[in-house]
Structure 1
Amino acid sequence: MRLEPRPGTIGDGPAIHWLGQAGFWIDTGAHRLLIDPYLSDSLARKYAGQRFDHRRMMPAPITPEALPRPDIVLVTHAHTDHMDPDTLGPLHRRFPDLPFVVPAARLDMARARIGEDTPFVAVDADKTLEPLSGLTLRVLPAAHESFEQDAAGRHAFLGYAFASGGVRIAHSGDTIPYPGLAERLRSFGADVLLLPVNGRDSERRDAGIPGNLTLDEAISITTEAAAPYLVPHHFGMFAFNTLDPATIEAAAAESRDPIILRPEIGMAMDLRRD
């Protein structure tokens, strides 16, 4: 499988499209998956006037009202830039039968933000399911600086690896490295890893902002997982929680194994089967 970047818009054929932050539209040719879309200004309104005001550094590439209908929506966790009521609520109202995969540990929050009558698929880590015919979904634990579990032992932070239309893609969710992460991805045989690269530090941690992988860690995990492609994300949205895109571009210029593709709004990464 090959990824070939080109100018493109959502809905124009089999490709990976970045929506900003951790959000992706992925058309495998067999299924159209929407992952963690943040397409509103809900956080800017919530934190207006505060130290971390959550103003967008980039405009939303599309509105929730203009999104084509996906076949399924995957939500990794309940932070608003991943489970956004102003994006997911309107999407549910447009497509009442659209299934949403969410952490079982945060099902009550999903109902409140998206809609009580939403056809949820509530999942937990290390489960494999087929939510749609021909779509295999493996649920991964994620450590957003730490593992967080509810009273029933279910993980609040998740990632998803899926096989569809002959391609295998994994989105780690928000996570730092943990023992077994690369092995899980390797055993799934992912062709493409979608990994956060905004890193972490004590200043953000002390402010209640949990961090993620650094770019070097993401590259190392991709190498250990034997995945040919790394698509970094979780940068360029909020000034206090980002990574300079030039750093990603420099790493991409130097790396051939894995191939690093810095996503851009308006770019389609075509999924080509060799």
Structure 2
Amino acid sequence: MKNLIPAMKKDEALIEEMDSFLHQKEGFRLWWLGQSGYLLQWKGKRVLIDPYLSDSLTKKYAETEKPHIRMSELVVRPELLRNISVVTSSHNHTDHLDAETLVPILKNNPDIKFIIPEANRSFVADRVKCDSAFPIGMNDGKSISIDGFTFNGIPAKHNEVARDENGNCKFMGFVIQFGKYAIYHSGDTLWFEEMIGILNPFNIDVAILPINGNKPERKVAGNLNCNEAVALGKSIGAKYIIPCHYDMFSFNTADVNDFILETEEKAQAYKVLKGGECFSA
């Protein structure tokens, strides 16, 4: 793989930067790990959101009609990530639930908690080879607090708001509240009208939203496009929007410059991160 988009910081240099802020008392830091993956650090505690830190999809689809050709450098090897309080998986697609990423993370963080949609419990346990009772199952309207972070379950539409036979969401987002802050990580989702009413009460500081759009010819489930992501951020009063789910696979991406133009036209504050770059507040 040649001419990959370089990470701003990666591997040991990235870990060194994260560690240098462990004793920070004020604000929080959020590093983009590629695709929809982020590391949130607040008061020395770490939450890992939907990490995809391998080439498993590139290998899986190499000889198919849907090759997953990587565009960006791998930001950090998963075995380097330690002192993680919580890791999340918003749904079962491999770029949000990757065994090659999660197995070493679970191994190296013995006290970690693993938040998933309850509907996906048996699938998750089989994929990451953990006890089926280990993950913490979530549903929309449910919340759980761990290490000072409260996770609120938000439904996601990918391409439907799909539920199991017990009414549990298969695709989810999370609002993470901590201290005076609230971050919304939508997972993979299309727009649906109910989400504005669900999200408005949280007073979102940062909305992390996909921008790769919904194109059936890709033969994968779709997401918000650039314009929709900005409209959603404006509708819920997000102080900042951070775009994600682009520049990972060449067949399923977007031009982030279109997002930038839309945010500036709509006077919406935003931050575009490079892989391994930090947003701080």
Provide TM-score, normalisation by structure 1.
Answer: 0.90
- Give % identity: 33
Name the structure 2 match of 1:99.
Answer: 113
SS class of match (2:227): helix
User: 2:205 matched to which residue of 1?
Assistant: 191
Q: Does 1:240 align with 2:251?
A: yes
- 1:9 maps to a residue whose letter is L
Residue 30 (structure 1) shift: 5.7
1:269 aligns with 2:279: yes
For the residues of structure 1 that align with 2:110 and 2:150, how far apart are their CA atoms? 23
Tell me if structure 1 keeps the 8 A contact 2:33–2:39: yes
- Aligned match of 2:235: 224
Deviation per residue, 1:86-119 (Å, 9 max, x gap)? 0001111112331100111111111112232373
Q: How many angstroms does 1:69 deviate by?
A: 2.3
Counterpart-to-counterpart distance in 1, 2:111 and 2:243: 31
Q: Distance in 1 between matches of 2:147 and 2:232?
A: 30
Judging changes above 3 Å, is the alpha-carbon distance between structure 1 residues 162 and 30 closer, same or farther for their aligned structure 2 residues? Answer: farther
1:179 matched to 2:190? The reply is no
Aligned to 1:128: 143
Contact 2:227 2:259 in 1 (8 A): no
2:134 alignment partner, one of 119, 141, 145: 119
Is 1:259 equivalent to 2:273 in the alignment?
A: no
* Higher alpha-carbon deviation: 27-36 or 183-192: 27-36
Q: CA RMSD in A?
A: 1.8
SS of corresponding position for 1:231: strand
In the alignment, the residues of structure 1 paired with residue 45 and residue 92 of structure 2 have an alpha-carbon distance, to the nearest angstrom, of: 24
Q: TM-score, normalised by structure 2?
A: 0.87
For 1:221 and 1:248, how far apart are their aligned partners in 2? 13
Q: Which residue of 1 aligns with 2:92?
A: 78
User: d(CA) in 1 for partners of 2:72 and 2:140?
Assistant: 32
> Aligned partners of 1:18, 1:266: CA distance in 2, in Å?
5
Residue deviations 1:173-219 (CA, integer Å, cap 9, x gap): 10001121122221111111001110012312xx2x00000111111
- Number of aligned residues: 261
Deviations 1:124-180 (A, max 9, x none): 1111221x1422111000001211111112110000001113211010110001121
Question: Is the contact made by 1:192 and 1:229 (CA closer than 8 Å) also made in structure 2?
Answer: yes
Q: Which structure 2 residues correspond to residues 147-162 of structure 1 after superposition, within 5 A?
A: 147-162=161-176
For structure 1, list consecutive stretches of 5 or more residues without a partner in the other structure: 1-5
Contact 1:31/1:165 (8 A) holds in 2: no
